[in-house]
Amino acid sequence: MYMDLGAQGHRGSKEHRGSKGQGRQGAVRRESYATSLSNLQSAICNLQSEIGRPPYRPTVLPLNILPMRQRFGLGYDAHTFGADRPLKLGGVEIDHTTGLTGHSDGDAVTHALIDALLGAAAMGDIGQLFPDTDPRWKGADSMKMLAEVKRRLTAASYFVFNVDITVVTEKPKIAPHAPAIREKLAVVLGVSVDAVSIKAKTNEKMDTVGRGKGLMVYAIASLGGA
């Protein structure tokens, strides 16, 4: 049984409670699951209206997937500084003396996150989906790549539980920009802001990153799905 939670909300979960062949315990778990997702989608709607985004379009999720498979993926990316363009991380432009090199817009945060999501779903990696030899992706907005990855995950009945990202760089300071980055990523991923974490470290002046030549990003993503 598939149900559009955003359109039906709790009404749908009551319908499901009465379906054939379902034990009381399983029905209660499904109702709890549906209620949690419905609440989550309401929170996203509220967030998006606050930041002036178009209304969230709910995803059709399967309700017969319990027990769900929870999966994890790890992503990593590194870019050097020196590009003559704005520094962009997680879709947010950050005031800095230089941007990051790279075939697209050099958004290493989004690239690491994409690889974490693809890894969790065993769907390959960013280089396979968006080859740096393809002129279509030259200077491309990495948030559009992230949106395409989210579309593929949804099509495969995966949804995002949460993501956690660590940026390693001497400069600039990431913490002041973390709230904006979390909001940008949450909207594209269709999750609430508290499901997106951004942390930052320096490399204690060690090695190339420590000398300020570049920046590294690690990301982990947790998915649920059929």
Query: Least separation, in Å, of the C-beta of 104 and Mg ion?
Result: 7
Q: Residue from 6, 44, 77, 150 that binds Mg ion (CB under 5 A)?
A: 77
Which range touches Mg ion (CB under 5 A), out of 70-78, 133-141, 187-195, 211-219? 70-78
Q: Write the CB contacts of 47 (distance below 8 Å, at least 6 apart in sequence).
A: 183, 186, 187, 192, 193
Q: How far apart are CA 88 and CA 60, in angstroms?
A: 32
Q: Write the CB contacts of 202 (distance below 8 Å, at least 6 apart in sequence).
A: 168, 169, 170, 210
Q: Which is nearer to Mg ion, 63 or 220 (CB)?
A: 220
Q: Which is nearer to Mg ion, 140 or 193 (CB)?
A: 140
Which range touches Mg ion (CB under 5 A), out of 61-69, 105-113, 148-156, 160-168? 105-113
Query: Least separation, in Å, of the C-beta of 78 and Mg ion?
Result: 8
Which range touches Mg ion (CB under 5 A), out of 39-47, 75-83, 143-151, 201-209? 75-83
Q: How far apart are CA 87 and CA 108, in angstroms?
A: 10
Query: Least separation, in Å, of the C-beta of 190 and Mg ion?
Result: 23
Q: Which is nearer to Mg ion, 77 or 183 (CB)?
A: 77
88 interacts with Mg ion by CB under 5 A: no
Beta carbons of 82 and 184 less than 8 angstroms apart: no
Q: Are strands 87-89 and 69-83 parallel, antiparallel or unpaired?
A: unpaired
Query: Least separation, in Å, of the C-beta of 197 and Mg ion?
Result: 20
Residue nearest to Mg ion (CB): 111
Residues touching Mg ion, count (CB under 5 A): 2
Beta sheet of 214-225, edge-to-edge order: 99-100, 69-83, 214-225, 158-168, 196-201
Half-sphere exposure of 217 (CA within 13 A, CB side): 27
Determine the length of the chain. 226
Q: Residue from 16, 30, 88, 111 that binds Mg ion (CB under 5 A)?
A: 111
**Binding-site ranges for Mg ion (CB under 5 A):** 77, 111
